Amino acid sequence: MTENKNPYLPDLATVIKVIDETPNIKSYQVILNDPEKMKTFFYEPGQVGQLSVFGVGESTFVINSPPTRMDYLQFSVMRVGEVTSVIHELHEGDQIGVRAPLGNWFPYEEMKGKKILFIGGGIGLAPLRTLILFMLDNRADYGDITILYGSRTPPDLCYKDDLKEWESRSDVSLILTVDTEYPGWDKRTGFVPTVLNEIAPSPEDTIAITCGPPIMIKFVLQNLAKLNFKDENIITTLEARMKCGIGICGRCNIGSKYICKDGPVFSLAQLKEYRAEI
């Protein structure tokens, strides 16, 4: 819940660092200008925020730094349109607006003691990153952690420093893949859903969490079903064109549920119940 009484009024924030992730994705570390608000800012892994460039508009991004590391809030932005293009022009010290936290979050309490299988594609690693880092910061609470992550080409892989660290850890198994052969790439090739089939993880006591482009999610869900994962053990996040972010503007519904408020995190069991088309 925001303390902000006017839910449309963003908090002013300053960009403190810009990281080039891939040719069209940049990460922004921001801090709220009001130090008191920054100190008491509370959110859960998976919650999102609306970033504003005043004069251009707002767009939705997941807070991809975990609440266990609260020096700043990190957002990763893929350039696709109007607002995201202007965000890509921002530099250290620039002012932006932040409306956060919005939406629900990953049910990390219910995942305790379970094995966790992350399946991400492209910018879809952003929400997963929050939960991965959160779990690594509470490592003892969770069983085996497997991360399957893919992108079109090696330069399109996000969070290269994180990937390096996860690769070196003995308590994480990281599987990277890119769509096709690429000079210098000695790891797997192939689409994420196909690689998922190849590694054929056991559904036993395992929660699968997937996020990526709609087409990837669609096939990952099918393949998880083939691997006998139960609908309630499959978690995904949905996207929608969002405006208000608080369940009022009526834009992001699936049936009576609003992605901005009841989501973006859903289990496959919930999505089937809501008759969402995925």
Partner 1 sequence: MADTGFVQKEKLEEFLRELSKDAVVYAPCLEGDTVIFKTFDPGTTLCLDRPANNPPKLAVFPQSETLFSFKYKKDAEDPRKMSVELEANTDFPRAIIFGARPCDAKGFRIYDRVYMDTNTPDPYYQGRREKTMIATLCCSAPSPGCFCVAVGGGPAHREGSDVLITQFEKGYFIEPVTEKGKTILNAPQIEDGAQYAEEAHKRQLESHDLVRNPFAEDGLPKISRSLFDLDEFWEHVVSKCLSCGACTYLCPTCYCFNITDEQSLDIGERIRSWDGCMFPHFTLEGSGHNPRPTKFKRFKNRVGHKFLYYPEKYNGVIACCGCGRCIRHCPVSVDISEIVSYLRGSRFEFTNEPPESIGTDTNS
Ligand X SMILES: Cc1cc2nc3c(=O)[nH]c(=O)nc-3n(C[C@H](O)[C@H](O)[C@H](O)COP(=O)(O)OP(=O)(O)OC[C@H]3O[C@@H](n4cnc5c(N)ncnc54)[C@H](O)[C@@H]3O)c2cc1C
* List of residues contacting ligand X (CB under 6 A): 48, 59-62, 76-78, 80-84, 123, 126, 239-240, 242, 264
Contacts to partner 1 from residues 220-239, by CB under 8 A: 239
Binding partner of 118, given partner 1, ligand FES, ligand X, none, CB within 5-8 angstroms per partner class: none
Among 109, 186, 250, 277, binds ligand FES (CB under 6 A): 250
Q: Give CA–CA dist 179/202, Å, rounded.
A: 24
Q: Which residue has the tokens 């973006």?
A: 264
Q: Give CA–CA dist 142/28, Å, rounded.
A: 29
Binding partner of 9, given ligand X, ligand FES, partner 1, none, CB within 5-8 angstroms per partner class: partner 1
Query: Would you give the binding string for partner 1 spanning residues 247-276, x where CB under 8 A is met?
Result: xxxxxxxxxx------------------x-
Quote the DSSP letter at residue 187. S
Q: Give CA–CA dist 27/202, Å, rounded.
A: 34
52 CB burial (10 A radius; 0-12, 13-18, 19+): buried
Among 100, 178, 244, 271, binds partner 1 (CB under 8 A): 244
Q: Give CA–CA dist 189/178, Å, rounded.
A: 5
CA atoms within 13 A of residue 95's CA, in its CB half-sphere: 7
User: 123 or 195: whose CB is closer to partner 1?
Assistant: 123
User: 75 or 229: whose CB is closer to ligand X?
Assistant: 75
Contacts to ligand FES from residues 207-246, by CB under 6 A: 242-245
- 249 counts as binding ligand FES under rule CB under 6 A: yes
- 243 counts as binding partner 1 under rule CB under 8 A: yes
Q: Are 197 and 223 in contact (CB under 8 A)?
A: yes
Give me 150's structure tokens. 């893919």
Name the CA dihedral angle for 273, 275, 277, 278, rounded to a multiple of 10 degrees.
0
Binding site for partner 1 (CB under 8 A): 1-2, 5-10, 12, 52, 54-59, 80-81, 84, 93-95, 97, 213-214, 239-241, 243-244, 246-256, 275, 277
